[in-house]
Chain A
């Protein structure tokens, strides 16, 4: 598995750039790195709200929330989530939050 270096931090990731050890390794450098590859120009409080909401849900439930639950807890419609994370809640936000890679019939 590739190791990524960013600002002196190193991260173990899979081919799709998801953190292998998940939220344990998650830190500010990771957020900055994902912003640079997922088309996010400026990180705002709204981004952080989505990230916090995903992490909180994952810690409590052991899975990523369904899209409409994410929309409900953050108050952001799906359109806004795509404006914040151009690759969407799965590839963009879950990757940044350090959640495991979405699986199933994608």
Chain B
């Protein structure tokens, strides 16, 4: 495959940021079809339109997803990307690797594909970019037999779950996000590989409300760590911060002119519920009023820690704008334990109560967040067996269109107009 003239892309080789163009050119020395990636992209830059055809249905036997088919619409000019399918490979929780594992995967990918990758797709998968249909089954065979790894999800199914790095190297994780993510991924292999849902469905696991995998914005079921008891305070370390022995926010703002640390200005006055104060040189927190926003802990990580009774809040229904507008997830379970000890029983039970309901009443290509909007939060809560709580709303409804069930109304809905007229002439 010939090199192509790429004057527009060549400009993207300048500047300090790592250049994807330089990287593809380097790979093209080994895999000549990569010249055609650059060629077709240059054409798109010039014509300002994509040169991939619509859709593409390819896969491996036994699975209904995992591979995204793609074909060039100018294959005669760029035969190296005539077929350019993307393979999603399930990633390890939090994306920790050994170089041995990555080298093995890359050797496989250079054997069966272009050698180009995306580390990682937004949902979390290892993305292997560009191969031909006839290579799919051989690659899948090697991936499963030589490496013991599997494909990720695509289609109307459970997509590949992802998590923050959790307890592996964060002192704020309120539960083991990696264990939860891995266990549920294994538990729901069938739902990942064979689409059976009205539409896609995603899990994400964050260890605390900082939400480093953006679970609240990018998953249908967001498992966000929190705690029940009191924030743990080390008063000596608080004094250390006040004496400027430790940098605030772990030094995140070093190099900016923000003056010396002022606990009143940077912590107490910024607490969203005003539940903190200084008393006799000690920091006090009224934990009953604390919403666990993480701010004080983020500012003084050496002095403040989340409580010892960890668990998670479960929020449901986040989605991108199509069709009915973007949604963040809405709080459904304020606190549940999330633990391997009982194989994540509470979480699994809740997830399946959503699926049992949504698979039955969800319309074709309706995200669960849209189904919730369509039927209303009270109906959703009843469907998943959760009692309504004040915590379920930011504020109460302001319109008076309140629906009552017939059994809640004395005398029911059956009324006789004659009887009414007897008391109230027309």
Residues in B with CB closer than 8 Å to A82 are: 62, 64, 194
Residues in A with CB closer than 8 Å to B200 are: 105
Annotate A62-87 by CB proximity to B: 1 below 8 A, 0 otherwise: 01001110000000001000100011
> Once the chains are docked, how many angstroms separate the CA of A91 from the CA of B55?
13
Interface of B is mostly: loop
Contact of A66 with B63 at beta-carbon distance under 8 Å, contacts A15-B56, A106-B57 already known:
no
Residues in A with CB closer than 8 Å to B1 are: none
Which of B65-73, B164-172, B247-255 binds A? Answer: B65-73
Number of residue pairs spanning A and B whose beta carbons lie under 8 angstroms apart: 66
Q: Would you call B365 an interface residue if the criterion is a C-beta within 8 Å of the partner chain's C-beta atoms?
A: yes
Which of A19-27, A44-52, A96-104 binds B? Answer: A96-104
Structural contact, A39 and B57, CB atoms closer than 8 A:
no
What residue of chain A has the Cβ atom nearest to residue B70's Cβ? Answer: A15
What residue of chain B has the Cβ atom nearest to residue A16's Cβ? Answer: B57
- Most chain A beta carbons < 10 A, residue from B53, B58, B68: B58
Q: Which 6 A-B pairs have the closest CB atoms?
A: A88-B64, A86-B61, A16-B57, A39-B61, A106-B155, A103-B55
- Name A's B-contacting residues (CB within 8 A): 15-16, 18, 39, 63, 66-68, 78, 82, 86-91, 95, 101-106
What residue of chain A has the Cβ atom nearest to residue B63's Cβ? Answer: A88
- Name B's A-contacting residues (CB within 8 A): 53-65, 68-69, 71, 83, 154-156, 194-198, 200, 359-360, 364-365
Structural contact, B155 and A66, CB atoms closer than 8 A:
no
Residue of A16, A63, A67, A106 near B196 (CB, 8 A) is A67
Residues in A with CB closer than 8 Å to B53 are: 15
Residues in B with CB closer than 8 Å to A91 are: 57-59, 64
Residues in A with CB closer than 8 Å to B62 are: 82, 86
Structural contact, A102 and B57, CB atoms closer than 8 A:
yes
User: What's the least CB distance linking A94 to chain B, in Å?
Assistant: 9
User: What's the least CB distance linking A64 to chain B, in Å?
Assistant: 9
Residue of A66, A88, A89 near B364 (CB, 8 A) is A66
Structural contact, A101 and B55, CB atoms closer than 8 A:
yes
What residue of chain A has the Cβ atom nearest to residue B359's Cβ? Answer: A68
Residues in B with CB closer than 8 Å to A67 are: 156, 195-197
> Once the chains are docked, how many angstroms separate the CA of A61 from the CA of B85?
31
User: What's the least CB distance linking A13 to chain B, in Å?
Assistant: 12
Structural contact, A88 and B194, CB atoms closer than 8 A:
yes
Residue of A16, A68, A104 near B58 (CB, 8 A) is A16
What residue of chain B has the Cβ atom nearest to residue A38's Cβ? Answer: B61
Residues in A with CB closer than 8 Å to B364 are: 63, 66
Structural contact, B55 and A89, CB atoms closer than 8 A:
no
Structural contact, B56 and A87, CB atoms closer than 8 A:
no
> Once the chains are docked, how many angstroms separate the CA of A67 from the CA of B65?
14
Residues in A with CB closer than 8 Å to B55 are: 101-103, 106
Contact of A90 with B57 at beta-carbon distance under 8 Å, contacts A82-B62, A82-B194 already known:
yes
Residues in A with CB closer than 8 Å to B65 are: 106
What residue of chain A has the Cβ atom nearest to residue B83's Cβ? Answer: A15
Structural contact, A90 and B56, CB atoms closer than 8 A:
no
Structural contact, B195 and A88, CB atoms closer than 8 A:
yes
Structural contact, B61 and A87, CB atoms closer than 8 A:
yes
> Once the chains are docked, how many angstroms separate the CA of A63 from the CA of B60?
24
> Once the chains are docked, how many angstroms separate the CA of A105 from the CA of B121?
14
Residues in B with CB closer than 8 Å to A16 are: 56-58, 69
User: What's the least CB distance linking A81 to chain B, in Å?
Assistant: 9
User: What's the least CB distance linking B55 to chain A, in Å?
Assistant: 5
Known: A101-B55, A102-B57, A106-B155. 6 other contacts (CB 8 A): A15-B56, A88-B63, A90-B64, A102-B55, A106-B55, A106-B154
Structural contact, B61 and A18, CB atoms closer than 8 A:
no
User: What's the least CB distance linking B359 to chain A, in Å?
Assistant: 6
> Once the chains are docked, how many angstroms separate the CA of A89 from the CA of B194?
9
